[in-house]
């Protein structure tokens, strides 16, 4: 069974080597292809210093130069907008392809097309060479070819991302590589991407671009391929009528790229194990012959040597049981006598070593680590002595340092505790002060808010007073205009009264003349004399009335003029009052705005004080916790110090001996 397992493992190792060799073959090919893409990328860096016309020319020539290798299907530059040339807001791309015997070049400004594609965006994001998943490409003659693209980022001299340099690889070139088969008739190899897509299959080209059933139907294989892991399994070989087959997947990765492929080698289990069965049969035959010969020879030798060995075996049995107190000798001059002496010396040496080590360990168990092994140990036992002394030295040094550290921790913890208690007390006092300040700020804030409200009301009242004064001023102006009209009308009335006085005077004269004429007429003029007398009386009354009216009108005009003067003075006062009122309203408005701002500021101050109070409360609690933790640390340091003091150390032992001397 052991032989079968050994040979089986050797067979599996061989299969593993074949899969690894195929993975190396593909990786080497990919690396040789990536050199072209990287070379294009590096070329662009050198072209940055050229003028536009020269740079455009060398870009085209570099792409054509890459296509001189028949393995490169096409080559491609794609740049970020305004990155390589400043006047390319829509990007810039150069596409070189085979056109019969010639090489064609297409130049586009199509960043909106390639900017988010798999052959551009991953290389931009990772800044390393990206290898796309397989994809179909239809030639002008209608033929379909499968390609992969090696996309390498172009980094400018200033470290900025400029674009990508791409090389398209025909996957037929990967399928035509020299894959190892180990001489097995049923074996085949295939290459898949991390997503399980087939790149090449030596047994079935139709699976290229698809996920082989052998992968899609096996969750363990899919998981190992995705994770880039090696896996060995037994599957059904679809190309050998579903027979059991060994499959080995080897991770295929390429440094400096994101390639995460897997190389698989498949071989029928029966065919791979046929060699194992043949080797087993040969080994079984050889083993039988060897065993028979060994039994015969061993019987003869053992019978001759067994007798003098019994005493040595007895001693060895006692040594195996840990009994080193007895010794026996075989008095012969041969190897057995020498072996017996060696056993006795070994027992004595081991006994002395064990006794001394036991004494040392008893001291250590008693917390006395100031001891050491001073006797000479021979051979490999000297290593035990050195190791044990080294352990004791380390323990002495360690416990001494622990003791020193414990003392320092104890002192430091005590100081921290005192400081934390002082801090806790001060933060408590600060919290009290902050609370008092907060209450004072709250009162001030309330008073400021009341002042703001009063100022707002005063502003409203002042506005109303201003409006009333404006109306009064306007009414006073209207009154002045009315008094001017009264004055004007009074002047007209004076003129009319003057006319009346003139009429009365003329009437009186006419009455006098009539009376004179009536007197001349005698008796015939008596009636006319009476009428003239009445007319004269009426004229006299009219003159008196006109005179009285004139006096009244003059007094009225004087009063009107006085009223007008008073009204003018009043109007001027009202105008001055209106001006002062407007200024007062403006001042009150400013006071109101300032009061509102003060109220807001006071609220913010109050909020700040409350936040400070919360921080102080937190600091107080933290200080109390720190004080408690420091006291606990001090207690633990004392316990550790007390525990360490229970050990006897070399330095302390030497100090005691010096004091005794």
Q: Which of 261-270, 322-331, 412-421, 508-517 has the lowest mean pLDDT?
A: 322-331
pLDDT, mean of residues 480-494: 75
CA distance 425 to 423: 5
pLDDT, mean of residues 184-198: 91
Look at residue 255 and tell me whether its pLDDT is greater than 80.
yes
pLDDT, mean of residues 538-546: 75
CA distances from 347 to 206, 327, 351, 602 (A): 78, 7, 6, 95
Which of the two residues, 14 and 455, has the higher pLDDT score?
14
Is 647 within the bounds of a domain?
A: no
Query: Where residue 321 falls among pLDDT bands split at 50, 70, 90?
Result: low
The predicted structure's pLDDT at residue 76: 92
Q: What would the two tokens of residue 603 be?
A: 């609220």
Residue that finishes a domain, picked among 270, 303, 333: 270
Q: State the chain's mean pLDDT as an integer.
A: 79
Which of the two residues, 189 and 503, has the higher pLDDT score?
189
Q: Which of 493, 490, 492 is nearest to 482 (CA)?
A: 490
Look at residue 510 and tell me whether its pLDDT is greater than 90.
no
Indicate the number of domains in the chain: 2
Look at residue 2 and tell me whether its pLDDT is greater than 50.
no
The predicted structure's pLDDT at residue 317: 63
Q: What would the two tokens of residue 619 be?
A: 């600091």
pTM comes to 0.44
The predicted structure's pLDDT at residue 1: 46
Calculate what percentage of the chain has a pLDDT beyond 70: 86
Considering 6-20, 236-250, 407-421, 423-437, the range whose residues carry the highest mean pLDDT is 236-250
Residue that finishes a domain, picked among 270, 288, 316: 270
pLDDT, mean of residues 528-557: 75
Which of the two residues, 347 and 259, has the higher pLDDT score?
259
Look at residue 34 and tell me whether its pLDDT is greater than 60.
yes
SS3 call for 659: helix
Query: Where residue 391 falls among pLDDT bands split at 50, 70, 90?
Result: confident
Which of the two residues, 91 and 647, has the higher pLDDT score?
91
Domain holding 493: CATH number? 1.10.287.950
pLDDT, mean of residues 347-355: 73
Q: Which of 148, 24, 5, 156 is nearest to 80 (CA)?
A: 156
Report the b/e string of 474-485 with b at 16+ CB within 10 A. Answer: eebeeebeebee
Q: Which of 305-309, 320-324, 554-558, 610-614 has the lowest mean pLDDT?
A: 305-309
Q: DSSP secondary structure string, 265-289? A: EEEEHHHHHHHHHHHHHHHHHHHHH
Cα 40 to its chain centre, rounded Å, is 35
Q: Which of 1-15, 214-228, 476-490, 532-546 has the lowest mean pLDDT?
A: 1-15
**438 Cβ neighbours under 8 A, 6+ residues apart:** 606, 609, 610, 613
Instruction: Taking each helix axis as running N to C, give the angle between helix 335-365 and helix 381-521, from 0 to 180 degrees, rounded to the nearest 10.
Output: 40
Phi and psi at 613, nearest 5°, equal -60, -40
CA distance 555 to 561: 10
Is 304 within the bounds of a domain?
A: no
Considering 150-164, 314-328, 367-381, 494-508, the range whose residues carry the highest mean pLDDT is 150-164
Look at residue 541 and tell me whether its pLDDT is greater than 80.
no
Look at residue 164 and tell me whether its pLDDT is greater than 90.
yes
The predicted structure's pLDDT at residue 198: 93
Which of the two residues, 202 and 414, has the higher pLDDT score?
202
pLDDT, mean of residues 508-522: 75
Domain holding 12: CATH number? 3.30.450.20
Q: Which residue has the tokens 């083993």?
A: 287
CA distances from 42 to 67, 141, 155, 164, 257 (A): 17, 35, 8, 11, 16
Is 236 within the bounds of a domain?
A: yes
Whether residue 254 contacts residue 29, with contact meaning beta carbons closer than 8 Å, is answered with: no
Calculate what percentage of the chain has a pLDDT beyond 90: 16
The continuous run of DSSP H or E covering 79 comes out as: strand 72-79
The predicted structure's pLDDT at residue 7: 64
Q: Which of 424, 442, 436 is nearest to 616 (CA)?
A: 424
Which of the two residues, 336 and 282, has the higher pLDDT score?
282
pLDDT, mean of residues 325-348: 63
CA distance 168 to 146: 10
Q: Which of 15-24, 300-309, 483-492 has the lowest mean pLDDT?
A: 300-309
The predicted structure's pLDDT at residue 600: 82
Whether residue 114 contacts residue 2, with contact meaning beta carbons closer than 8 Å, is answered with: no
Q: What is the pLDDT of residues 455-466, one digit of tens each?
A: 777 777 777 776
Is 354 within the bounds of a domain?
A: no
- Domain holding 509, by residue range, is 442-619
Q: What is the pLDDT of residues 583-615, one digit of tens each?
A: 777 777 777 777 777 778 777 887 877 788 777
Is 96 within the bounds of a domain?
A: yes
Query: Where residue 276 falls among pLDDT bands split at 50, 70, 90?
Result: low
Which of the two residues, 145 and 440, has the higher pLDDT score?
145
Considering 147-151, 284-288, 394-398, the range whose residues carry the highest mean pLDDT is 147-151
pLDDT, mean of residues 166-184: 89
**283 Cβ neighbours under 8 A, 6+ residues apart:** 3
Cα angle, residue 290 at apex, residues 289 and 294 outer, rounded to 5° = 120
Residue that finishes a domain, picked among 248, 270, 292: 270
Is 433 within the bounds of a domain?
A: no
State the chain's maximal CA–CA distance in angstroms. 225
- Beta-bridge mates of residue 102: 99
Cα angle, residue 38 at apex, residues 37 and 42 outer, rounded to 5° = 120
């Amino acid at each position: 069974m052991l032989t079968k397992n050994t040979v089986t493992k050797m067979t599996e190792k061989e299969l593993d080597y074949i899969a690894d060799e195929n993975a190396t073959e593909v990786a080497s090919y990919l690396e040789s292809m990536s050199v072209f893409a990287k070379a294009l990328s590096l070329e662009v860096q050198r072209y940055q210093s050229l003028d536009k016309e020269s740079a455009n020319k060398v870009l085209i020539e570099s792409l054509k130069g890459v296509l001189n290798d028949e393995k490169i299907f096409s080559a491609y530059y794609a740049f970020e907008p305004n990155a390589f040339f400043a006047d390319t807001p829509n990007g810039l791309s150069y596409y070189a392809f085979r056109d019969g015997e010639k090489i064609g070049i297409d130049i586009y400004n199509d960043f909106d097309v390639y900017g988010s594609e798999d052959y551009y965006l991953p290389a931009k994001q990772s800044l390393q060479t990206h290898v796309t998943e397989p994809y179909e490409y239809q030639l002008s003659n209608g033929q379909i070819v499968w390609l992969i693209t090696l996309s390498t980022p172009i980094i400018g001299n200033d470290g900025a991302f400029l674009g990508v340099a791409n090389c398209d690889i025909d996957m037929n070139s990967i399928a035509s590589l020299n894959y190892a088969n180990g001489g097995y008739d049923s074996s085949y190899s295939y290459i898949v991407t991390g997503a399980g897509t087939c790149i090449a299959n030596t047994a079935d080209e139709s699976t290229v671009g698809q996920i082989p059933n052998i992968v899609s139907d096996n969750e363990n294989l899919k998981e190992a391929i995705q994770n880039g892991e090696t896996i060995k399994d037994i599957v059904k070989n679809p190309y050998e009528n579903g027979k059991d087959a060994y499959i080995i997947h080897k991770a295929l990765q390429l440094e400096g790229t994101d390639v995460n492929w897997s190389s698989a080698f498949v071989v029928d289990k029966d065919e791979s194990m046929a060699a194992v069965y043949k080797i087993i049969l040969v080994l079984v035959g050889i083993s039988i012959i060897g065993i028979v010969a060994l039994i015969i020879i061993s019987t003869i030798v053992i019978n001759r040597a067994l007798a003098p060995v019994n005493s040595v075996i007895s001693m060895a049995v006692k040594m195996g049981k840990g009994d080193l107190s007895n010794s026996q000798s075989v008095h012969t001059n041969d190897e057995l006598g020498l072996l017996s002496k060696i056993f006795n010396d070994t027992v004595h040496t081991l006994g002395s070593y064990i006794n001394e080590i036991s004494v040392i360990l008893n001291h250590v168990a008693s917390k006395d680590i100031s001891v050491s092994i001073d006797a000479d140990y021979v051979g490999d036992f000297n290593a035990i002595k050195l190791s044990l002394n080294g352990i004791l030295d380390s323990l002495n040094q360690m416990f001494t340092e622990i003791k020193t550290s414990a003392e320092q921790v104890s002192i430091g913890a005590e100081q921290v505790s005192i400081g934390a208690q002082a801090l806790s007390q001060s933060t408590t006092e600060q919290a009290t002060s902050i609370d008092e300040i907060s209450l004072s700020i709250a009162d001030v804030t309330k008073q400021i808010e009341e002042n703001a409200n009063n100022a707002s009301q005063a502003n409203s009242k002042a506005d109303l007073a201003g409006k009333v004064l404006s109306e009064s001023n306007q009414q006073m102006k209207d009154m002045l205009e009315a008094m001017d009209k009264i004055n004007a009308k009074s002047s007209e009335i004076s003129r009319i009264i003057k006319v009346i006085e003139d009429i009365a005077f003329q009437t009186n004269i006419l009455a006098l003349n009539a009376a004179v004429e009536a007197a001349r007429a005698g008796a015939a003029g008596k009636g006319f004399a009476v009428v003239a007398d009445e007319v004269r009386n009426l004229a006299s009354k009219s003159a008196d009335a006109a005179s009285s009216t004139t006096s009244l009108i003059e007094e009225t005009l004087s009063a009107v003029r006085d009223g007008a003067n008073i009204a003018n003075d009043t109007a001027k006062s009202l105008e001055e009052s209106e001006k002062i009122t407007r200024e007062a309203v403006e001042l009150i408005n400013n006071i109101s705005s300032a009061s509102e701002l003060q109220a807001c500021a006071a609220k913010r101050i109050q909020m700040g004080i409350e936040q400070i109070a919360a921080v102080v409360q937190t600091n107080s609690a933290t200080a109390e916790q720190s004080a408690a933790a420091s006291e606990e640390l001090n207690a633990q340091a004392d316990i550790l110090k007390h525990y360490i003091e229970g050990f006897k150390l070399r330095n302390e032992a030497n100090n005691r001996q010096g004091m005794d001397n």
